Structure 1
Amino acid sequence: MMGCCWRKAVVYILMIWLQQCCFQSVAILDPLDFLALQSIRKSLRDVPGSNFFQSWDFTSDPCNFPGVYCDSDKVIALNLGDPRSGSPGLTGRIDPAIGKLSSLAENFLTGDIPAGFGELRSLHTLDLSYNQLTGSIPRPLGSLPVLSNLILCHNHLDGPLPSFISNSLTRVDLMHNNLTGPLQSDSFPPSVQYLSLGWNKLIGPVFTTLPKLNRLNYLDLSMNHFTGLIPCQIFTFPISNLQLQRNQFFGPVQPDSQVTIATIDLSYNRLSGQVSPMLSTVQNLFLNNNRFFGSVPESFVDRLMDATIQTLYLQHNYLTGFQMNQTAEIPLSSVLCLQYNCMVPPTQSACPLKAGDAKTRPTAQCNEWRG
């Protein structure tokens, strides 16, 4: 009898342990997210022939609902009315409780940005990033008086930029879209500190726009079709990262004083003239694939050898000299590339694979450039 009771006790304890393990393996959705999903469900309904919400049964785990994506106990994405979930469409107005989904990130929103957003006169932040939105940025958004953050990156937006009037605007991130047209002198107010317009199709000069944005601490205009001179004023701004690569900027780059920006990328443009010694204080400098000529100032050599410069890319230009002692050793923390210039690069020059195999530029090209 004692043995039988002992075996039953062991089985009972084992069942309790298994139940606890199973219970602990299921993450419980955050209560605020749970209530937000309920509000969203009540505000929308299937159009005739749709059964998207049929399985949204709140007696089960909402993270298993069609169109709901969770990470741990938080909803991170919604795909409302996903055709792959049997939905030809939904109708209704999304409940404002969607704003309580604090971890909501990449989604699958499509269509245009409603011009009605321009009527939200107290709107401070608009973040519709990482969606599939199309059409242009509504002009009424530019007239929002207290807008401080506009984040529309990673969509399919096109058309020109509206002009923004809010003196509270500090962050603008519109990168990875299909925006076109030039920057106007009044495109952005002087309050902007973070401006990211990379990976678009913007054109024209920036000489009348950038000098007014003297509070910038981050600027990315890369992968566009900007032209003209780079205004020397921007090198005095409190910028930590300046990304102007892969445009059509031309002419010399001559800052008026020593530059304190940590990273500057001016590669793949049409810049020319001699390399300014004022740039030798930049930690990571990318001037490759331009039309710079002449000898590199000695200040670059000094700062490279004392590891002040971490990355110096000068490949694919028309440079003729780099006065470094051939027996000197470049610090392991520093990288130098001088390949494909009108000189023999130092033996320690370390270049990326895309720089190619050719060490020096053909003599005919160098003579033609000098001529």
Structure 2
Amino acid sequence: MRRGNGFTYNTMVLLIVVLQYCGFLAHAVLNPVDFLALQSIRKSLADLPGSNYFSSWDFTSDPCSFAGLYCDGDRVVALNLGDPQAGSPGLTGRLHPAIGRLSALAELTLVPGRVVGSLPHSLSQLKYLRFLALSRNFISGVIPAGLGQLRGLTTLDLSFNQLAGNIPLSVGALPALSNVILSHNRLNGSIPAFVSQSLARLDLKHNNLSGWLPPPPGLPPSIQYLSLSSNRLSGPVDRALSPLNRLNYIDLSMNQFTGFIPVNLFASSITNLQLQRNQFSGPVQPVNPVTTPTVDLSYNRLWGEISPMFSTVQNLYLNNNRFTGQVPATLVDRLLDSSIQTLYLQHNYLSGIEINPTVEIPLSSSLCLQYNCMVLPVQTPCPLKAGSAKSRPTSQCIEWKG
């Protein structure tokens, strides 16, 4: 290319791009960097059949009028990829690293679809990002440690994907997090300590996480919703959970936790307590009447007598443990007046229950007593997993008492 009047080939190319962009100025007022980033994002994604999300993405018009895109002045501040209101099947393709050039972006979401590939490391450049939700796709790879640079991030939802590797320590160190939802992935390693004192929801269920819960202050007392179900977590939980006095939902089921169940987990504020299929042991003696509607302590190694404090629970699962003694009369009374809807006591070492053999169990209530150290006073339908044997062999009952 011949040079003249100080122009070079690169200068002319840049001029052509600028002139092309200026041709849209009658409509578009978007910053050129954001404009070009959106073009790259559009090329890397497509509508699944039945979706028409991108039909409004006409780059000869004002990009700030595109579906799912919101501007503040000449910058993109929110990008909702796909239309959650339309019930469409979502998008396919990959997330382009150009997302990281939308430097004013505060919100980035992706509707359920078939987007694949890894999370762009350029996300760490979005220093104003507050809300990141990319759930229910096929995103793989690891969670970039660079997300720990997003100091203002409040919500991180990467659930229902195919992410693997550890949860970065840098993510746990984010100071403003209020919601962390990483469930239904393939994450492994231990749970990092979370420092945010505003963290309210921590959902890590259905992964391959292992190790003990982080000791205080690893789980901040601000947590209200805690779900760690279906992992390989182990060790005692009393030290980690005792400071959590704002819990209203807790699910630790299907892990390998051991030791005593902390008394504070039977507090009145908790609406659902799921501790089944672990290795918890010891007696369970709540201090006050338990008003949690559903308490599931089944498939553990709990022993001792059943506390009458459980008579205020609506759905009580104590089956497949090592409880002994009589079933408290208050539980029977509450069952017969339909206050207790489910009372599963099968596969324990209970020695008796005071109930009239001719009594009719309310249709709205379920009682299962089989495979204990008693002759069943009433015949009630039990789940198939309870087996067909009505009582334990006498030898087992004598051995357990001894």
> Which structure 2 residues correspond to residues 1-371 of structure 1 after superposition, within 5 A?
42-43=40-41, 61=52, 73-74=86-87, 77-81=90-94, 92-94=97-99, 99=108, 101=110, 105-186=135-216, 187-371=218-402
- Structure 1 position 185, deviation (Å): 2.2
Give the paired residue count: 315
Alignment-derived partner of residue 30 in structure 1 = none
What is the SS of the residue equivalent to 1:153?
A: coil
CA contact (8 A) 2:40 2:96 kept: no
Give me the identity figure in percent.
57
Provide the C-alpha distance between the structure 2 equivalents of 1:356 and 1:115, rounded to a whole number of angstroms: 49
- Report the TM-score, using the length of structure 2 for normalisation: 0.73
CA contact (8 A) 1:215 1:237 kept: no
- Report the TM-score, using the length of structure 1 for normalisation: 0.79
- Structure 1 position 41, deviation (Å): 5.2
Letter in 2 for 1:262: P
CA contact (8 A) 1:214 1:237 kept: no
Letter in 2 for 1:135: G
Provide the C-alpha distance between the structure 1 equivalents of 2:42 and 2:285, rounded to a whole number of angstroms: 59
Q: Deviations over 1:176-215 (max 9, x none)?
A: 0000110122221000000000000111000111110010
Question: Which consecutive unaligned segments of at least 5 residues does structure 1 have?
Answer: 1-35, 47-52, 82-89
What is the SS of the residue equivalent to 1:250?
A: strand
Report the CA distance shift for 1:136/1:79 in structure 2 as closer, same or farther (over 3 A): farther
- Structure 1 position 231, deviation (Å): 1.1
What is the SS of the residue equivalent to 1:126?
A: strand
Provide the C-alpha distance between the structure 1 equivalents of 2:97 and 2:287, rounded to a whole number of angstroms: 58
What is the SS of the residue equivalent to 1:366?
A: helix
Letter in 1 for 2:247: L
Letter in 1 for 2:41: S
- Structure 1 position 347, deviation (Å): 2.7
Q: Deviations over 1:320-347 (max 9, x none)?
A: 1010011111111110000100112233
What is the SS of the residue equivalent to 1:157?
A: strand
- Structure 1 position 73, deviation (Å): 3.0
CA contact (8 A) 1:44 1:92 kept: no
- Structure 1 position 222, deviation (Å): 0.4
Q: RMSD value over aligned CA atoms?
A: 2.7
- Structure 1 position 350, deviation (Å): 1.9
Letter in 2 for 1:176: H
- Structure 1 position 301, deviation (Å): 0.8
Provide the C-alpha distance between the structure 1 equivalents of 2:185 and 2:398, rounded to a whole number of angstroms: 46
CA contact (8 A) 2:178 2:201 kept: yes
Provide the C-alpha distance between the structure 2 equivalents of 1:307 and 1:210, rounded to a whole number of angstroms: 33
Q: Deviations over 1:90-137 (max 9, x none)?
A: 863336678255676410000000111111011010000000000000
Alignment-derived partner of residue 10 in structure 2 = none
CA contact (8 A) 1:149 1:171 kept: yes
Provide the C-alpha distance between the structure 2 equivalents of 1:192 and 1:185, rounded to a whole number of angstroms: 14
- Structure 1 position 257, deviation (Å): 1.2
Letter in 2 for 1:347: V
Provide the C-alpha distance between the structure 2 equivalents of 1:326 and 1:56, rounded to a whole number of angstroms: 64
Report the CA distance shift for 1:56/1:318 in structure 2 as closer, same or farther (over 3 A): closer
- Structure 1 position 72, deviation (Å): 7.7
Report the CA distance shift for 1:40/1:345 in structure 2 as closer, same or farther (over 3 A): farther
CA contact (8 A) 2:207 2:230 kept: yes
Q: Deviations over 1:129-158 (max 9, x none)?
A: 000000000001111111000000000000
